[in-house]
Structure 1
């Protein structure tokens, strides 16, 4: 079963076409990175995949469910989502372990009854991400990097079948970024990890665990497929509108800007 199938999908708002004839498929066991400049359609595509916006034309099938023929709220319960925007919505006074538990209910705060097994699972997830020491700390006292790890544990609490990481390194300094990427790498290497969509506009964040790349420009697909096939200098120049070259080190791509500054 494919995790995501998008067929000839377009989205128009007013007189602006935001997404244009998107065709894309994510298979089981694949971890994708979605790359593009601001305004390229990354967030809009995520909204379509999670059913928060509806395409003007085309079809979307997620986790075996065809949108328009299923209960989207039920589908969302199988999707974990981490974003920098969510980081600022959590109550500062909540303890980290409670933030993680809230992921079971996809809520901000805990409003339902919980039991011992919920706390045990939350602590296991924090331990898995190397931050069990934060369990009783107030969320508002954590560093930005620590908050992102807690939110990652929260996203895993409901045992999702699809995990969306929407610019999780936004606002982090280089040390916090690399620490978070290290934890994502460990998590992504585990046998029970769900399919991952990692959204960024920094290609150096594409870790070895990511198998495929979707490259967007102005709402259109520039290229999609295995990362080595997609992350070529020609494709990135088309996507970014810059003279660039790509170098690989430690199985991660790094971009260099050319001397042509006419842009």
Structure 2
């Protein structure tokens, strides 16, 4: 079975500065991964590489069974849904919600094609699945931050991707909105034929049970990877953060505090 993501000894330099170094990472079908790291750890660069926006200085990459260098990256991106804060900033405030979702079919910011009624029906169905169908007919600027994130996830699902990347989707959300989004992601991940999900965060309590595996990224290097309960331990995370931390599990979710 081909991995969904296969990175072998991948490094990337920018202006003689090493951003990613010797990354080995495989993600298989049926797995959902959380990527955990502090700001500046290389998480966004890793995602840009999976999407083919940057090319490795060294190493090999294959995504969805397509090796880089032998693949039309623009076509490959149509099978990858990507939700990020930077995407949210590019959406026009006066765009209607259902048009935003439909634009995901074409991987465009704004709707410049001629979608069919079937496309709009699918968009509404996705909005229903994600608990935001009440936003139909409204403009983007009238939506709350949590509603906007749900719309962008629906947009990411519009092309029925095999891989869905959620890049710190809880940024800017209050506690209630964040927990509501976690419920939505759980429901999405447990649906039949759900895409493989990569969830990027720097808060370990967001690594909910559906994320079976965790990758720890530190200063551009893979610090640890594997089953989340084996990775998210007091010892490993204290070493990872270079601080003495305590991890406690509640309802199968890890919560971390600093220890004296």
In the TM superposition, what are the counterparts of 1:221-260 in structure 2 within 5 Å? 221-259=222-260
**1:174 is matched with which residue?**
175
In the TM superposition, what are the counterparts of 1:28-39 in structure 2 within 5 Å? 28-39=29-40
**1:54 is matched with which residue?**
55
Which secondary structure state, in structure 2, belongs to the residue aligned with residue 228 of structure 1? helix
The Cα shift of 1:14 comes to: 2.1
Alpha-carbon distance between aligned partners in 2 of 1:95 and 1:126, rounded to the nearest angstrom: 13
Q: What value does the CA root-mean-square deviation take over the aligned residues?
A: 0.8
CA contact (8 A) 1:34 1:215 kept: yes
**2:148 is matched with which residue?**
147
The Cα shift of 1:178 comes to: 0.7
**1:76 is matched with which residue?**
77
The Cα shift of 1:15 comes to: 2.6
Alpha-carbon distance between aligned partners in 2 of 1:66 and 1:25, rounded to the nearest angstrom: 13
Alpha-carbon distance between aligned partners in 2 of 1:67 and 1:184, rounded to the nearest angstrom: 29
**1:157 is matched with which residue?**
158
CA contact (8 A) 1:222 1:238 kept: no
In the TM superposition, what are the counterparts of 1:17-32 in structure 2 within 5 Å? 17-32=18-33
The Cα shift of 1:69 comes to: 1.0
The Cα shift of 1:153 comes to: 0.4
The ranges of structure 1 where at least 4 consecutive aligned residues each deviate by more than 3 angstroms after the TM superposition are none
In the TM superposition, what are the counterparts of 1:207-218 in structure 2 within 5 Å? 207-218=208-219
Alpha-carbon distance between aligned partners in 2 of 1:70 and 1:131, rounded to the nearest angstrom: 36
CA contact (8 A) 1:36 1:240 kept: no
Alpha-carbon distance between aligned partners in 2 of 1:85 and 1:15, rounded to the nearest angstrom: 26
Stretches of structure 1 lacking an aligned partner (at least 5 in a row): none
Stretches of structure 2 lacking an aligned partner (at least 5 in a row): none
The Cα shift of 1:98 comes to: 0.6
Alpha-carbon distance between aligned partners in 1 of 2:14 and 2:92, rounded to the nearest angstrom: 33
Alpha-carbon distance between aligned partners in 1 of 2:88 and 2:51, rounded to the nearest angstrom: 19
Alignment length (residue pairs): 259
Q: Deviations over 1:23-71 (max 9, x none)?
A: 0000001000000111111111111111101111000000010001111
In the TM superposition, what are the counterparts of 1:5-24 in structure 2 within 5 Å? 5-24=6-25
The Cα shift of 1:84 comes to: 1.3
Which secondary structure state, in structure 2, belongs to the residue aligned with residue 60 of structure 1? strand
